[in-house]
């Protein structure tokens, strides 16, 4: 159990059996009045946010979250199958729960699957992934249009901006936290 | 992180100017004990235990005993300690200025506050005004005097009585009222509901409110003053009430401050006020968190 004085940005708590993360926090206390803990919360499953003010006697359940390293096996429609590499247990995460992380997901990739009460609610891919460029406009040497990036598509279907010298078939490294190009990978 | 020396110089100059103001006006500077056996029982103020005693949450009780002993005007600059108070405007140990004067009421204090702030602003070369987040607050004209009832009528969607009945007075005050106070000129928010001033005298012509006020500048609460309750029987009854409310919340109330209650009958009409020095420094240097104006925050120790 947490008490109000434990509340802070980044804390994960459970309300009505759903996990919430505190995204913004402010302590206030009018003169001679009671302590108030104003929190902005985000539901970790639906992504919905709301604001609520708690008092010093309020108590909170810890969100029972667990992270497991799992391997991505395959996708079937909107269902993504993962396997625990320790005990070979398999589970399914929906496309909706994966959100943008599908942009970086490759067969056999190891990811951290976040579970709430044993149910998968999302994944964290490796911070850097290497993906092959499948579509890119050729680089015209001496191009004077002044643009210093161009759009490309990688093997997962994700589109991003890269320097103009990147060619189709090359591998690039991407930062999955921002979705941005990092560097060209020499083969 | 230690703040720039410039801020510590301004802080020191400000504290020095407070001292000069009161000494020039014949106030006696006192230093009462920081560790005390029985802080004033107040429901929402939690004292930090220190051995079998407590660290002071305010020097109020000792200072009123000095008034009762016949000293007419006193001030003190000291650190106070309150458990579980930490935020961008709160430190669990903070610097307080308190002053008390006999034969006075909260109106006299309000007038004196205006003079004090003008004096400090002049000494610090601020030129009769404070700049807070690009917004100018004029100190030299008359300050606004706004009752709590009127402030709720203006800024909240429900009345004080309704807020008290719904047990959301503090929430509404913090969310809807406070941010709108002390804009362009400081505000004295005054005449608090009687139950929100455990040590304040009730207004003779309207006993539903206490003669209590808070100073707000640009939404920041700076000081709490009141006409002192000088009736030991009534004071004991209110302390009992506060202690019972604490017990209901599962807190163990400290002992009753008997020597204070014993002295109270010798204290005539008086008024007193507590001002948060760190917050005043915040306004003067334009800081948005209290951490920026103290040498060390508790987390940095």
For the segment B69-125, what is each residue's pLDDT rounded down to a tens digit?
A: 999 999 999 999 999 999 999 999 999 999 999 999 999 999 999 999 999 999 999
Q: Which residue has the tokens 């309150």?
A: B82
Nearest CA in chain A to B274: A31
- CA–CA dist B58, B97 (Å, integer): 9
Question: In Å, how far is A21's CA from the nearest CA of chain B?
Answer: 19
With beta carbons under 8 A apart, name residues in chain B contacting A38.
174-175
State the average pLDDT for chain A: 90
Asked if residues A37 and A4 have their Cβ atoms less than 8 Å apart, the reply is yes
Dihedral sign of CA atoms A7, A13, A15, A20 in order: positive
pLDDT category of residue B133 using cuts at 50, 70 and 90: confident
B92-96 LR contacts (CB < 8 Å, sep 24+)? B92/B48, B92/B298, B93/B298, B94/B276, B94/B277, B94/B278, B94/B290, B95/B15, B95/B276, B95/B277, B95/B278, B95/B294, B96/B58, B96/B59, B96/B274, B96/B275, B96/B276, B96/B277
Q: Which pLDDT score, from 0 to 100, does residue B2 have?
A: 87
- CA–CA dist A98, A82 (Å, integer): 12
Exposure letters A28-42 (e unless 16+ CB within 10 A, then b): bbbbbbbbbbbbebb
End-to-end CA distance of chain A: 52
Whether B171 and A36 lie within 8 Å, measured CB to CB: yes
DSSP string, B125-140: T--SEEEETTEEEESS
Q: What are phi and psi of A46, to 5 degrees?
A: -90, -20
Convert B32-87 into a string of H (helix), E (strand) and C (coil). Answer: CCCEECCCCCCCCCCCCEECCEEECCCCHHHHHHHHHCCCCEEEEEEEEECCCCCE
Whether B84 and A5 lie within 8 Å, measured CB to CB: yes
State the helix-helix crossing angle for B277-285 and B5-24, rounded to 10 degrees: 120
ipTM rounded to 2 decimals = 0.90
Whether B170 and A5 lie within 8 Å, measured CB to CB: no
Does residue A118 share a domain with residue A147? no
| Residues belonging to chain B with any Cβ–Cβ distance to chain A shorter than 8 Å | 42-45, 84-90, 169-171, 173-175, 178, 192, 196-198, 214, 221, 224, 249
For the segment A6-41, what is each residue's pLDDT rounded down to a tens digit?
A: 999 889 999 988 999 999 999 999 988 999 999 999
Whether A33 and B224 lie within 8 Å, measured CB to CB: no
Chosen domain end from A15, A32, A62: A62
Does residue A73 share a domain with residue A57? no
Whether B196 and A32 lie within 8 Å, measured CB to CB: yes
Indicate the pairing of strand A180-185 with strand A171-175. antiparallel
Residue A171 has pLDDT above 90, yes or no: yes
For the segment A108-152, what is each residue's pLDDT rounded down to a tens digit?
A: 999 999 999 888 988 999 999 999 999 998 877 666 666 688 999
Nearest CA in chain B to A57: B249
- Tokens for A84, please give them: 């625990």
Question: In Å, how far is A60's CA from the nearest CA of chain B?
Answer: 17
Write out the H or E segment, with its range, that includes residue A42. strand A36-43
Q: pTM here?
A: 0.83
Tell me the H-state helices in chain A.
Answer: 95-98
Nearest CA in chain A to B199: A32
Whether B198 and A32 lie within 8 Å, measured CB to CB: yes
Q: Which residue has the tokens 């359940």?
A: A61
Does residue A33 share a domain with residue A12? yes
Question: In Å, how far is A5's CA from the nearest CA of chain B?
Answer: 7
Q: Which residues contact A96 (CB under 8 A, 6 or more apart)?
A: A78
Asked if residues B103 and B269 have their Cβ atoms less than 8 Å apart, the reply is yes
Question: In Å, how far is A44's CA from the nearest CA of chain B?
Answer: 25
Question: In Å, how far is A58's CA from the nearest CA of chain B?
Answer: 11
What CATH number did the domain enclosing A89 receive?
2.40.50.140
Question: In Å, how far is A8's CA from the nearest CA of chain B?
Answer: 10
With beta carbons under 8 A apart, name residues in chain B contacting A35.
44, 84-85
Does residue A82 share a domain with residue A55? no
What are the respective helix, strand and coil percentages of chain B, to the nearest 5?
Answer: 40, 25, 35
Tell me the H-state helices in B143-301.
Answer: 148-155, 160-165, 169-172, 232-248, 258-264, 277-285
Q: Which of B44, B84, B175 sits opposite A32 (nearest CB)?
A: B44
Does residue A6 share a domain with residue A58? yes
Q: Which pLDDT score, from 0 to 100, does residue B73 have?
A: 98
Domain that holds residue A48: 2-62
CB neighbours of residue A13 within 10 Å: 20
Write out the H or E segment, with its range, that includes residue A131. strand A128-136
What CATH number did the domain enclosing A55 receive?
2.30.30.30
- Tokens for A103, please give them: 């942009």
Q: Which of B106, B160, B163, B174 to mutate to test the interface with A (most CBs of A within 10 A)?
A: B174
With beta carbons under 8 A apart, name residues in chain A contacting B172.
none
Exposure letters B256-288 (e unless 16+ CB within 10 A, then b): ebeebbebbeebeebbbbbbbbbbbbbbbbebe
Q: Which residue has the tokens 């400000």?
A: B14
State the average pLDDT for chain B: 96
Nearest CA in chain A to B45: A32
Does residue A57 share a domain with residue A108? no
Residue B301 has pLDDT above 90, yes or no: yes
Q: Which of B40, B84, B167 to mutate to test the interface with A (most CBs of A within 10 A)?
A: B84
Q: Which of B42, B178, B249 sits opposite A30 (nearest CB)?
A: B178
Chosen domain end from A108, A124, A140: A124
Architecture of domain B5-129+217-300: 2-Layer Sandwich (3.30)
Asked if residues A164 and A142 have their Cβ atoms less than 8 Å apart, the reply is no
Q: Which pLDDT score, from 0 to 100, does residue A144 have?
A: 62
CB pairs under 8 A between A and B: 53
Chosen domain end from A62, A82, A108: A62
Task: Please classify residue B6 by burial: count the beta carbons closer than 10 Å to its beta carbon, then call 0-12 exposed, 13-18 middle and 19+ buried.
Answer: exposed
Share of chain A above pLDDT 70, in %: 96
Nearest CA in chain A to B91: A27
Does residue A116 share a domain with residue A91? yes
């Amino acid at each position: 159990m947490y008490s109000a004085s434990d509340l802070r940005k980044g804390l994960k708590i459970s309300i009505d059996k759903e996990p919430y993360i505190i995204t913004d926090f402010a302590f206030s206390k009018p003169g001679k009045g009671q302590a108030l803990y104003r929190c902005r919360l985000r539901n970790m499953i639906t992504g919905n946010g709301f604001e609520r003010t708690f008092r010093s006697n309020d108590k909170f359940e810890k969100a029972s979250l667990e992270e497991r390293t799992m391997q991505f096996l395959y996708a079937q429609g909107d269902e993504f199958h993962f396997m625990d590499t320790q005990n070979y247990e398999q589970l399914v995460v929906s496309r909706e729960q994966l959100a943008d992380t599908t942009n970086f997901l490759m067969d056999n990739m190891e990811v951290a699957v976040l579970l709430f009460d044993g149910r998968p609610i999302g994944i964290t891919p490796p911070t850097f992934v290497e993906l092959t460029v499948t579509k890119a406009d050729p680089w015209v040497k001496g191009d004077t249009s002044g643009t210093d990036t161009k759009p490309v598509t990688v093997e997962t279907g994700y589109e991003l901006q890269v320097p103009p010298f990147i060619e189709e078939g090359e591998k690039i490294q991407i930062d999955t936290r921002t979705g941005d190009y990092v560097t060209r990978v020499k083969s | 992180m230690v703040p720039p020396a410039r801020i510590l110089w301004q802080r020191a100059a400000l504290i020095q100017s407070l001292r000069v103001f009161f000494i020039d006006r014949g106030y006696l500077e006192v230093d009462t004990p920081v560790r005390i056996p029985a802080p004033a029982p107040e429901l929402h103020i939690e004292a930090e235990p220190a051995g079998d005693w407590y660290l002071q949450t305010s020097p109020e009780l000792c200072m009123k005993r000095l008034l009762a002993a016949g000293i007419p005007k006193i001030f003190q600059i000291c650190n106070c300690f309150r458990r579980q108070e930490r935020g961008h405007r709160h430190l669990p140990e903070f610097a307080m200025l308190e002053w008390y004067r006999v034969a006075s009421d909260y109106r006299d204090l309000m007038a004196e506050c205006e003079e004090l702030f003008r004096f400090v602003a002049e000494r610090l070369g601020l030129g009769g005004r404070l700049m807070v987040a690009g917004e100018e607050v004029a100190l030299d004209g008359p300050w606004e005097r706004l009752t709590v009832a009127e402030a709720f009528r203006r800024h909240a969607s429900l009345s004080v009585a309704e807020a008290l009945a719904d047990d959301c007075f503090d929430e509404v005050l913090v969310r809807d009222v406070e941010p709108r106070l002390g804009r362009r000129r400081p505000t004295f928010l005054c005449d608090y509901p009687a139950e929100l001033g455990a040590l304040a005298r009730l207004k003779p012509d309207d006993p539903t409110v206490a003669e209590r006020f808070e100073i707000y500048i640009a939404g920041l609460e700076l000081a709490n003053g009141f006409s002192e309750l000088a009736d030991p029987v009534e004071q004991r009854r209110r302390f009992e009430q506060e202690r019972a409310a604490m017990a209901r919340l599962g807190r163990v109330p400290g002992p009753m401050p008997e020597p204070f209650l014993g002295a109270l009958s010798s204290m005539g009409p008086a008024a007193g006020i507590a001002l948060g020095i760190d917050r005043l420094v915040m306004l003067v240097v334009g800081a948005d968190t209290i951490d920026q104006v103290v040498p060390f925050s508790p987390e940095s120790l």
